[in-house]
Amino acid sequence: MPSRRSFLAGIAVSGLAPTLTWADAGDPRYLAAARMPDGQFRLFGLDNDVQPIFSLALPARGHAAASHPQRPEAVAFARRPGRFAVVLNCVTGRAVAELQAPEGRHFYGHGVFSTDGAVLYTTENAYDQGEGRVGLWAANDGYRRVGEIKSGGIGPHDIARLPGTETLAVANGGIDTHPDTGRQKLNIPTMQPNLCYLTGDGQIIETMQLATEHRLNSIRHLAVRADGLVAFGCQWQGDLAEVPPLLGLHKRGRPPRLLSGDPAEQAKTAGYVGSVAFSSDQRAVGVTAPRGGRSQIFDVATGALSATILSGDICGIAKGVDGFVFTTGEGLSGAPGQLVQSGTARVSWDNHLVDRQG
Amino acid sequence: MRRLLIAILCVWPVSGVAGPQDLVTTALDRHILPSFQTLATEGAALADAAGADCSVEGEALVQAYHSAFDAWLGVSHLRFGPTEVDNRGFGLAFWPDPRGKTVKSLATLVRDQDPVIDQAPTFATVSVAARGFYAMERLLFEPGLLGEDAAYGCALVRAVATDIAVTTAALRDDWEDRYADTLRQPGSEGSPYATPTEGVRELFKALSTGLEFAADVRLARPLGTFERPRPRRAEARLSGRSLRQVVLSLGAMEALAAILAAEHPAVAQDLATAFAAADEAAARIDDPTLAQVADVQGRIRVEALQQRVNEVRNVVRGQLGPALGVGAGFNALDGD
């Protein structure tokens, strides 16, 4: 724990008054990064209708964000293979801290806080070993690096915490990359993704692997339901003619279920899911497939495709007040049927729409 | 805040003209299928040459290696469909290889005198790092790798060559017997393409990804940074092919780009100009291995080629994509 002196010093440096809460930032429901028309990147706080409350400058293209459970702090991650993340005070707009990936590590673009907000967990690549890591940062001590644990696989991307627990779920996408070769995939022939459940001190509780015929389905993005059901979205690395399922559901201790539309509909996803979310009533699960300009909504109980929503470059998806809300790379945001463009400037909403209510 | 209400687009643009399908058909008949045929022919010739004389000093074998590798560059940008089945693409071309797996895998086979090389079907199960053109390059151009046992070395050279022949033949056959039809008949059962435009988008994506690979990997790897150039990372450096890899792949992509731009003369003209500028920049580079990235004058020339390739990319992204109606979106291109 930080000393009182260092804690106060931290406040002085950050300019953060100890009493600030998310309400002071306008109580945004969602966070999302976007590219502005002038080519700059910003992080937005958005209301229930997915319309902007505030926006803050980002140093480069963002990917996902993590929001501190109590303090109005958002961690914006650079797109992989980024080496930095910035913690923004959403009231003052100032950077509270900058996270620099340690030597030999880079971020993958996702992170999550512990329930009490004391620890930030970040997915990282230990690229000389070609192994995944989860970095641990002391959020109450200036986001100091305090350790790391193995992610249980290669290429960890999204990370979530099972509600009401400290159990972490990590989407180990299985794809080995090295900064020397940019985003080139180095191990497709041998890749083996998994969904790994970990304790905060690095014990592997359970590892879920898909059947051999889905070995090329890179598990990338996660959504968690209140009861611990995990939804995972995949990106297919094989021949698109195989038209694989790209959405799975997993409950610890049980085999996974894979959900798919009929082959004609499924082919239109182009083998690529960008984001995944559960609906507000938790009975539906949705994915976005930006390469197919579509979102697919499935019934959790039956696994059947229940709706398809078409909108160009649709990618962000989250639980809405009623059902789902979306963002698109073409500047639209909102609920299906009410997707609107905010203001006169067209922003390109980036990959993820982060729901602060989980 | 002003809000502009926009209804969701429920109607996907359906092309009523024959345009997009014509482009796909032309690309198949004049670019894709002939190029895979050439690759299979050269792959078979390489196996024949290794069969006739497996000596790594043999001129005929080295020549056959170069010819077959040249043919690969005619299709190395077409990384979709058959190339993605059974690791064929990686089994022919495992590069970049930042962890040096090709040398390690080959050295392990030699050290263990592994009999896995004796049969083509079993050889296809070894690490992709020990297969294909980059493995063949090491065998032919890295003295000492094969060790003392000439018989095993000979068998390994033949195994790699035969495997290349088998894989390139399988690629050609899969294109001719299966995949070409999925592009000719979008919307048919089993086709991953619902419309002709989706086929065009696949070809466009292959072009843009191939150009990205040329600039960001083939050229960027040896360039490294100004403070730390990395000449030893140049592709196929041992056989003196580093610049040739770039030039030949650009040539293949220029052919594809010309087909895609056929109905848009202004775009076609800008593409031709941009590719010609890249050719000129390549012609000013003296060293086939790109080793000159290590000195300031030489480096400028390699950077100039990279810049010209990036200008081709700009035309492709800024003009060709929109002209074809396949400009990819912010998230669709993200790959995360």
* Per-residue model confidence as pLDDT tens digits over A194-253: 999 999 999 999 999 999 999 999 999 999 999 999 999 999 998 888 889 999 999 999
Distance CA A54, CA A301 (A): 38
Contact call for B6 and A239, based on CB within 8 A:
no
Which residues in chain A have Cβ-Cβ distances shorter than 8 Å to B91? 189
Contact call for B335 and A341, based on CB within 8 A:
no
- Which 200-229 residues of chain A touch chain B by CB within 8 A? 220
- Which 163-202 residues of chain B touch chain A by CB within 8 A? 179, 182, 189-194
Cβ of residue A181 closer than 8 Å to a chain B Cβ: yes
Contact call for B81 and A240, based on CB within 8 A:
yes
Q: How many residues are listed for chain B in this entry?
A: 336
Averaged pLDDT, A104-117:
95
DSSP B177: I
Cβ of residue A240 closer than 8 Å to a chain B Cβ: yes
| pLDDT, tens only, B55-92 | 988 899 999 999 999 999 999 999 999 998 888 999 99
Pairing relation of β-strands A340-342 and B3-5?
antiparallel
Name which of B177, B331, B334 to mutate to probe chain A: the one with the most chain A Cβ atoms within 10 A of its Cβ.
B331
Which residues in chain A have Cβ-Cβ distances shorter than 8 Å to B233? 180
Contact call for A341 and B82, based on CB within 8 A:
no
Q: Give the type of residue at B191.
A: S
Contact call for A313 and B8, based on CB within 8 A:
no
Write down the mean pLDDT value for chain A: 91
- pTM of the model as a whole: 0.79
Alpha helix (H) residue ranges in chain A: 4-14, 263-267
Cβ of residue A269 closer than 8 Å to a chain B Cβ: no
Cβ of residue B128 closer than 8 Å to a chain A Cβ: yes
Which residues in chain B have Cβ-Cβ distances shorter than 8 Å to A239? 80-82, 84-85
**Contact present, B68 and B164 (Cβ < 8 Å):** yes
Cβ of residue A189 closer than 8 Å to a chain B Cβ: yes
Mean pLDDT per 10-residue section of chain B, whose length is 336 residues: 37 49 97 98 98 92 98 96 90 91 94 90 88 97 87 95 98 97 91 88 93 93 93 96 98 98 96 98 96 94 97 93 81 76
- Residue among A239, A330, A332 minimizing CB distance to B81: A239
Q: Torsions phi, psi of B146, nearest 5?
A: -80, -10
Which residues in chain A have Cβ-Cβ distances shorter than 8 Å to B10? 310
Question: Does the structure's ipTM exceed the value 0.90?
Answer: no
Which residues in chain A have Cβ-Cβ distances shorter than 8 Å to B5? 338, 340
**Contact present, B300 and B292 (Cβ < 8 Å):** no
Contact call for B3 and A339, based on CB within 8 A:
no
Does the CA dihedral A86-B224-B328-A107 come out positive or negative?
A: negative
From edge to edge, which strands make up the β-sheet containing A73-78? A62-67, A73-78, A84-89, A95-100
Contact call for A109 and B336, based on CB within 8 A:
yes
Contact call for A241 and B3, based on CB within 8 A:
no
Q: A342 pLDDT exceeds 70?
A: yes
Give whole-number Cα distances, A31 to A216, B215, B319, in Å.
31, 34, 33
Contact call for A184 and B96, based on CB within 8 A:
yes
Does the CA dihedral B75-B81-B82-B87 come out positive or negative?
A: positive
CA A232 to chain centre: 11
Cβ of residue B98 closer than 8 Å to a chain A Cβ: yes
DSSP string covering A265-310: HHHTTTTB--EEEE-TTSSEEEEEEGGGTEEEEEETTT--EEEEEE
Contact call for B220 and A52, based on CB within 8 A:
no
- Residue among B1, B233, B334 minimizing CB distance to A342: B1
| pLDDT, tens only, A245-288 | 999 999 999 999 999 999 889 988 989 999 999 999 999 999 99
Contact call for A274 and B216, based on CB within 8 A:
no
Q: Torsions phi, psi of B250, nearest 5?
A: -60, -40
**Contact present, A215 and A169 (Cβ < 8 Å):** no
- Residue among B8, B81, B330 minimizing CB distance to A241: B81
Percentage of residues in chain A with pLDDT exceeding 70? 94
**Contact present, A143 and A153 (Cβ < 8 Å):** no
